[in-house]
Structure 1
Amino acid sequence: MKKKKLCLLLIVCSLLLSGCWDANEPERLVYANGFGVDYKDGKVIVYVQIINLGSLAKAESGAGGSTSKADVGRAEGHTFEEAIFSLYHTSDRRMYLGHLSFVVFSEQAIKAGMLEHIADFLDRYRETRYRMYFFATKDSIKDIMLVSPIENISLAFSKLSDPHDNYRQSSFIPPIDLRELIINFDEPPHQAQLPLLQISKKWTAQDGPKKELLIEKAAIISDNTLISILPKEIMNGARLTNEEFIRDSLYLSKRRNADVSVLIYDKKLKIKPVVDKAGKVRFDIKLKINANIQMVKEQETVNALKKEISQAMRAEVYRTYHFTRKQKIDIFRLSETLYRDDNKTWKKVQKNGLVPLEEDTIKSLSINVQLKNSGKMELGPIIGQQQDRGDQK
């Protein structure tokens, strides 16, 4: 009897449970992969890239089919939120922002002060995560968001959605996500570096030229204002002080012909502030890095190559420093180093978080190059310079 009553009670209780009746089924949602933000004639223009996550699952299971297609919506309003809700009105289903991977800002949007406002909005919104990457561009945002990755892979693996994979192979300009952006704005020197996207046509498909995204420049933002866009030759020196640096190639600038190819990796960097009796702050920079010789056309010695590699890196660092300091850009984040190592001195010398950057602020630059490998352990060409052993007697 007790068992029957217990079963009856369980049945009644189960009828009162709502279960998942109010849940949103994944296949019934529209997934936003990225935002684009532009500004024109006093209005905010928002682009949203929608991708089909179902096709991504098919590609991973080997079912085939095209996975690189995307739809891009466009709306405008007096504020970012107004433009977003205008896009909501055109969507067939609820738009889910939990998989948002990137945000691209036009030069006009950054100059209009949109970056910090939108970063604040995305940080507060309940669905978004910190793993979304920020970019700047001078090109058409719509065209950038419609670029399909090479090999027809999914847009979830594109340079916009997953930039770290490409950066691990060539560590030139590091990606910056929402968390890092907030930290850079909050801590000295209160400057952030956004990779600048360009549309390039260096690849060709069977049906003709193919567009792809190129990152060789960086936009520097401080106090919600665009300070400068740094070109490739200036960013060469900046990569050597990036904490996330993994590996990249090095150009030996003193040579007329590129007859030596060098790969640099395993960087160790130490920046130490030095304060003299007058209270002037300078910095000692010590850089230790490994190098591999990838190509050589003439016979070389180890010491000569190590010296030349060191000189090339030294030239890049000083060229970058002197170019950026004139624009009051602390590209090596020396202000942050002093802020953490000697906060008392930093408070005395800083102005808006930035320490004085002068001609001799870098007191010393020590570069230790370890030549680890030269391919087949030969510091000379493999073909064309060897003596013919058949002629030996």
Structure 2
Amino acid sequence: MKKKKLCLLVIVCSLLLSGCWDANEPERFVYANGIGIDYKDGKIVVYIQIINLGSLAKAESGAGGSTSKADVGRAEGNTFEEAIFNLYHTSDRRIYLGHLSFVIFSEEAIKVGGIKHIADFLDRFRETRYRMYFFATKDSIKDIMLISPIENISLAFSKLSDPHDNYHQSSFIPPTDLRELIIALDEPPHQAQLPFLQISKRWTAQDGPKKELLIEKAAIISDNKLISILSKEIMNGARLTNKEFVRDSVYLSKRRNADISVLIYDKKVKIKPIIDKDGKVRFDIKLKLNANIQMIKKQETVNKLKKEIGQAIRAEVYRTYHFTRKQKIDIFNLSETLYRDDNKTWKKVQKNGVIPLEEDTIKSLSVNVQLKNSGKMELSPIFRDGQ
């Protein structure tokens, strides 16, 4: 009797199970890896890059074959939503946005205020994640999306999809993901910094020159508008204040760069607000970092090199500060530092989240350089003159 009741209970429970009748099978999707947003003739233009995740699995397992191919779709509309739905209509299968890795804005799209609207859409959309990186460009978005990485590696490991690996080797312009973009535009000084993409031909394949992506500029966005595009020479002084800085080279001077090459790493920075008696806000900046000598042509002393490296870094920082200050760009986030350290004073002096930046706002800048292993444990060249 008990066995009959148990069997009856199992049968009834089985009838209540929903099963997998409404499940979406992964192989039936097409997967969007990146989105591009442009603005032309009063219309929003949307590009979507589709990649084959099956080829990615083959690459990781060691199977042969090309893994860098992608398809790029294009559609336009009066709004971003209209454009993306127009693109949906051309797809054979459902386009899945849960694996989005990057978003590229054209200069025109930024100028018409597209950043916040797109960020809001992507943040609300249930499929997307915060781990997608934002870029700006004035080159063709379609051409950028069709560029294959060097060595024919998967597009999932490209500079757009996975920018941190490249940044850790040369920490110049830090990647900005969705979470960081929202924070930057919402908190003082309400300014975001996006890596600026350029199409380059510095690499060559067996069949000729190869297109590759170059990041040597940064786009500064504030109040949902494009404020400026800063060159490498201007951005050099800002890299050491980036929290994620790992390592990069430092240039001493045009004359000295032919004689010596210096790598800086293991950086620590401390920015402290100082309130003068008249209520003026100024800042003390302290930088502490390690340096390695990568190449040297003649005998040098430790103290002389430390002094030269410190002077070069100080010159970079001041050059960056004075140039960006004139454009009303708070590149060192001094406003945010005061906001967090002394909110009462910040409320008194701020205007739209930004405090006044003047010629002497940086009260002091100290650079502490520690020279580490130069490769031969000495600051002398391997080859002597005349030998």
Q: Is contact 1:252-1:258 (8 Å) kept?
A: no
Gap change, CA 1:248 and 1:256, over 3 Å in 2? closer
Look up the match of 1:151: 151
Q: Which amino acid aligns with 2:65?
A: G
How far residue 252 of structure 1 moved from its aligned partner, in angstroms, is 0.8
Cα separation, 2, equivalents of 1:204 and 1:380: 36
Deviation per residue, 1:140-165 (Å, 9 max, x gap): 00000001111111000000000001
Q: Is contact 2:80-2:118 (8 Å) kept?
A: yes
Q: Is contact 1:75-1:87 (8 Å) kept?
A: yes
Cα separation, 1, equivalents of 2:170 and 2:43: 38
Q: Which moved more, 1:14-23 or 1:215-224?
A: 14-23
Cα separation, 2, equivalents of 1:331 and 1:247: 19
Cα separation, 1, equivalents of 2:274 and 2:257: 40
Cα separation, 1, equivalents of 2:184 and 2:27: 38
Q: Secondary structure at the match of 1:373?
A: coil
Look up the match of 1:172: 172
Cα separation, 2, equivalents of 1:88 and 1:18: 29
1:53 partnered with 2:63:
no
1:283 partnered with 2:283:
yes
How far residue 11 of structure 1 moved from its aligned partner, in angstroms, is 2.8
- The 5-angstrom pairing of residues 1-393 of structure 1 reads 1-253=1-253, 255=255, 257-385=257-385
Q: Is contact 1:106-1:137 (8 Å) kept?
A: yes
How far residue 256 of structure 1 moved from its aligned partner, in angstroms, is 5.1
How far residue 254 of structure 1 moved from its aligned partner, in angstroms, is 5.6
How far residue 257 of structure 1 moved from its aligned partner, in angstroms, is 4.6
**Tell me, which stretches of 5 or more residues in structure 1 are unaligned?**
389-393
Q: Secondary structure at the match of 1:287?
A: strand
Cα separation, 1, equivalents of 2:7 and 2:169: 63
Q: Secondary structure at the match of 2:68?
A: coil
Q: Percent identity?
A: 87
Q: Which moved more, 1:209-218 or 1:375-384?
A: 375-384
TM-score, normalization: structure 2?
0.98
Gap change, CA 1:199 and 1:254, over 3 Å in 2? closer
How far residue 12 of structure 1 moved from its aligned partner, in angstroms, is 4.1
Look up the match of 1:391: none
Q: Secondary structure at the match of 2:50?
A: strand
Q: Which amino acid aligns with 2:113?
A: G
Cα separation, 2, equivalents of 1:282 and 1:294: 36
How far residue 8 of structure 1 moved from its aligned partner, in angstroms, is 3.6
Q: Which amino acid aligns with 2:363?
A: K
Q: Which amino acid aligns with 2:53?
A: L
How far residue 101 of structure 1 moved from its aligned partner, in angstroms, is 0.5
Q: Which moved more, 1:25-34 or 1:6-15?
A: 6-15
How far residue 366 of structure 1 moved from its aligned partner, in angstroms, is 0.3
Gap change, CA 1:252 and 1:370, over 3 Å in 2? same
Q: Is contact 1:155-1:161 (8 Å) kept?
A: yes
Q: Which amino acid aligns with 2:372?
A: K
Which runs of at least 4 in structure 1 moved beyond 4 Å after TM superposition?
none
- The count of aligned residue pairs is 387
Deviation per residue, 1:113-162 (Å, 9 max, x gap): 00100000000000000000000001000000001111111000000000
Q: Secondary structure at the match of 1:271?
A: strand
Q: Is contact 1:251-1:258 (8 Å) kept?
A: no
Cα separation, 1, equivalents of 2:191 and 2:358: 18
Q: Secondary structure at the match of 2:353?
A: coil
C-alpha RMSD over aligned residues:
1.1
